[in-house]
Structure 1
Amino acid sequence: MASIYGEFCLLFLFSFVSVNVLTAATQFDFSTLTLTSLKLLGDAHFSNASVRLTRDIGVPNSGAGKVLYSNPIKFRRPGTQSPASFSTFFSFFVTNLNPSSIGGGLAFVISPDDEFIGDSGGYLGITNGKGPQNGVVAVEYDTLMDVEFNDINGNHVGLDLNSMDSTRVCDLTKIGIDLKGGDPVNSWVDYTGSTRLINVYVSYSNLKPKEPVISYTFDLNEYIVNDFMFVGFSGSTQGSTEIHTVVSWSFTSSFDENPGSPPPTASFMNPTAYAATPPPPLNAPEAGNSSNSTYGEAKHRRTCRNQLCKDGPGAVAGVVTAGAFFLVFCAFALIWAYNKKFKRGEKSETLALDVIKMPKEFSYKELRLATKGFDSNRSIGQGAFGTVYKGILPDTGDIVAVKRCSHSGQGTAEFLSELSIIGTLRHRNLVRLQGWCHEKGEILLVYDMMCNGSLDKALFESRMILSWPHRRKILHGVASALAYLHQECENQVIHRDIKSSNIMLDEGFNARLGDFGLARQIEHDKSPDATVAAGTMGYLAPEYLLTGRATEKTDVFSYGAVVLEVASGRRPIEKEVTGVGKVGMSSNLVEWVWSLHREGRLMVAVDPRLGNEFDEGEMRRVLLVGLACSHPDPLARPTMRGVVQMLVGEAEVPIVPRTKPTMSFSTSQLLMTLQDSVSDLNGMITISTTSSEDSFVVGGDSHGGLNLV
């Protein structure tokens, strides 16, 4: 029995080894590649765990770039005319930094060498103007209508065979795809060697469409010049500042053992697109060293069946017994794992109640691997209660932002607050929480990565001047998010920390409000309690400074400061004199704009870097909305729902007085308010700076009084 069981275990083990050994001829995934696995040519460069094919160069300059997998891929067996089957999946987006300029485009390419880069403009870095070039097959995603190449428009996908005149083309406008929209676009390219059929699919969704946008039969062997070719991407601009970014890519190829079988699937970067195929090992077999996996599995099954027949009924009984033993073993393993998880859950029962609605629980090991051990080089942000790291999830290759709780009781409390609040929120202008982890005494939150960073960095640190259309869209997005938090949630949410550094920007420069560490939930129509007040100087409402009571109107004031910051291109508190006409040291932006309004010179506040690239009527409306939100009297401030209507022109901006009103408290009112706050906080209200951003916390001790430290 032991011998038979041992043979069964070997057969069982071999069945798994064979699947790994007999994989596709070539197989790789963007997330597992090292820097030496990719070759960059021309303007191509790495950026935020992605590859940008073109650079931010000024008009009217043009450029081209190419990235290739550094190892050649076998596309034809030596001495035969049998082409390989291949499948590739990739995700990309196009950012047009100057909407008035024309673009270029990008392409998935199969090239005979890894040194050549084509011309810019309509050549997409694929070929040049010297005439047809053999050995180049490409699927182009063209954002430029080039009459020379008979392009149908500036938003199409085409199949290029040794020429920039596309053999087959599809107008992507017909399926609702805008290549220059700034949104991620997914594409699948499948070629079956036995049938000579290529299918190209394009979608915004992660799910592969049922119908291809291009389906064409051609013999790949007639267009490739070598048995081994290189694969990758190329892109170009033509007198523009268009940037083409490849954010994910997987590729697999094989030679068909069974004619008519579908091409291998490349699904490692897109697990929802196909049936499960795990990420390949780093030492994936190279071309020529393996055969088709389906064939290998069939051969192995025949071997197992013949061996069992040879050994007779006894062997069959042994296998059945061993199989039953294996199932029992699996059952015990599952019970052990469940008990371990259950015991761990008992230790964090309170947390589990808060996060029961969370999307996913990650393991600490998984997030540690994703951030390379929370490497300081991967830090992308530092908040009052934690650090944010860029992470790449090992299972999917998805790029995420991992927020790690600071090691203090207060930090843990704030993270628990953020976790319990944002886990129940769903809005297109809120940063999406993917999941959480509570292990080893730490709390980690996993968010979508926002590739364009925070609003304050886009305004003050980027070489690119944030255009007025982008700024207007950002302000509208934040207003929509706040209207949702204040008036559309089951329980009203007061954010308490609205500022430009907490507003993130996605690929299309859409605003996503984040950092709910200071947020509080309040039942509608209930008065908020005095709390430990916290925030950032320059964004804080005057009544909040005095009372510590956060309401939706304190968020409105903070939003008004953000509006003026975005319109003027100046920080709420300027810390130093930067030149003539600039806000001086310790000057308050809100006060400065009010003074300009009093003098009838409101448009002087406009960011001079915008030049004349804005609508004056829109700008004046936005500045008045900012002042209305910054009114000293909280009752005079509009609701965020009203702000949304004002920004889109559905409601008039309330009359903003030329002279800034003063906020006054009677002595008795102020004393009563402070007594309530002191009673709630068990001590004196103290305001002290806690970070370089002049953030502060209002706290208490036993001495009484109001101090500014």
Structure 2
Amino acid sequence: MKMDSRKLLVFLLFTFFNFSDPPLVVSAQNVDFDFSSFTLRNFTLLGDSYLRNGVIGLTRNLGVPSSSSGTVICNAPIAFFDSESNTTASFSTRFSFSITNVNPSSYGDGLAFFLSPENETLGSPGGYLGLVNSSQLTKNRFVAVEFDTRLDPHFNDPNDNHVGLDIDSLNSMKTADPVLDENIDLKSGKSITAWIEYKNDQMKLKVFLSSSRSKPERPVLIVDIDLSEYLKELKYVGFSASTEGSTELHLIENWSFKTFGLVPAPPRLHFPPHNVSDNTVMIPPPSAVSDSGNKGHKRLGLGFGIAGPVFFCIVLSVFGYVSMKKWRGMRWEKSFKADILAGPREFSYKELKGATKGFHSSRIIGNGAFGTVYKAFFITTGTISAVKRSKHSHEGKSEFLAELSIIACLRHKNLVQLQGWCVEKGDLLLVYEFMPNGSLDKMLYQESEEGTLLKWSHRYNIIVGMASVLTYLHQECEQQVIHRDIKTSNIMLDGNFNARLGDFGLARLMDHDKSPVSTLTAGTMGYLAPEYLQYGKATEKTDVFSYGVVILEVACGRRPIEKDTDSQKMMNLVDWVWGLYSQGNILEAADKRLNREFKEEEMRKLLLVGLSCANPDCNVRPSMRRVLQILNDEAEPLLVPRMKPSLTFSLSLPLSIDDIVSDGEDHRKSLDSMCEIKI
């Protein structure tokens, strides 16, 4: 019978060293953590939640009558039950929060602390507190303490300022009014500290509230409850909040949590298989053998003594030779996996290969500088996803890690949602939710072929959505994210034509209020800011410039650089629109295919915002927050000079054009004309 080198080595190791220890059994452990401020490293943000200056916001000021819902979940699940000792843990938590009403006449709905077996569920806004989906009320399971700021008769709320215990339902088992005991108005906007304690031996849950950091003697809520049946499985802990047609803001400032009462299992002791004293060992009497026989046995023993180790070394060498290539191939995969954040699902290569028909060319839905995107059908779940397969170059690997590490931490309704990843067989794969309407550039420039036209209402909504997500990336994340490749081909459209920003392969993380690091220029010609071309420094202002070009593309239906049909010369879109504006005819830039089926005020506003963002002088470009306010009629438009400002740079670029252009042969065909673009 044949035996491969791996099995042979295992057999020999077993024979030589006799590994006979039983496996180690891991028991549930008490946990204890304390966050004086928050970081993205430890938490997952869902919905409208965000992280700013170490404080977590669960809802946003979207303006009345908009609604908002957000959730933050600690990444690591917690075991409350130890099956070996049949023990359920007690727990206690302390956190400070504030609930502020931006509009005094608008309030609701509140926030909740929860324990749940799920870590990816975002509930509905309104009275559902982000805990459950309004269309599937019985789907989500949870134990939650709610801090409710709206009287909702549908859930039998006693008033608009109460604390309650909820178990798998928003109809609280018991409620209390903190005004009566501690004179606390939950929606006062002041910092409030809460303590929640559950002691399993007493079968009691207590909630304390205070306007200071000192814990009061009396709880505002006491519930006699046995939670042991609800704590059998692993639980994720976190917070959720929601609003409905209101502007209530919910902030979590700090948080500590611990479990206690679990008894660690005693260590296992392992004894030798034969625990026998020396005086019981029987020594047989020597046999009478001839000298020649003794010499023969000595030679035979000497031969085995030499041959045994030699044979073992040979086998070991063969095993090493056979395994070396495979080990080298797997080493970088393991190093990648060690760096990947917990959260997105790890797919198997076999699963993704089957879903894309072996990465067949018929499944290709897009190509970029660092990979190909395939349409994937998962038969087992009946779902469709988009799989991005990166190239095998060193750059491809680094872009893969950049994209995964950045987007895995981000949560925004205008971002393409990352579903999972795979690093196997030398391939780098990212799995995203599928966007039925493809990319924005295809909708803009292939409409006539498909017989569809992107309506004005959809175009305006796309621009607003992009402003919202860039505001989030630039100003609302713990670390500022500079995308560096804002363009219409990286903007995806969901089934309702909402914008979803994707492709974070070129993105970079930066701490707020720090100078950008000079790097190699990356991006796509036509979208690159003048100062970025010259100095290679990516900042939020270079993203703003690219966004301004996208605005003009969407409004005008023209590419950033294209050949003029009359003069046959290459035309720069920003220059062309600014020229019409200087003549007082800016509305002439509107996409002719719209047949003037748009609101002139909106078109004018969009074109002027596009010009202000694409201003050659980076110092006068607006922030994305200001842009969002202008588009939502919350701020006055910026003054745009009639003549395009001109800047003077050195004649020599720091890099060659080939280094600057990131993808697409079409761009390289017009390099000579691009060099003539005026700044």
Superposition TM-score, scaled by structure 1 size: 0.47
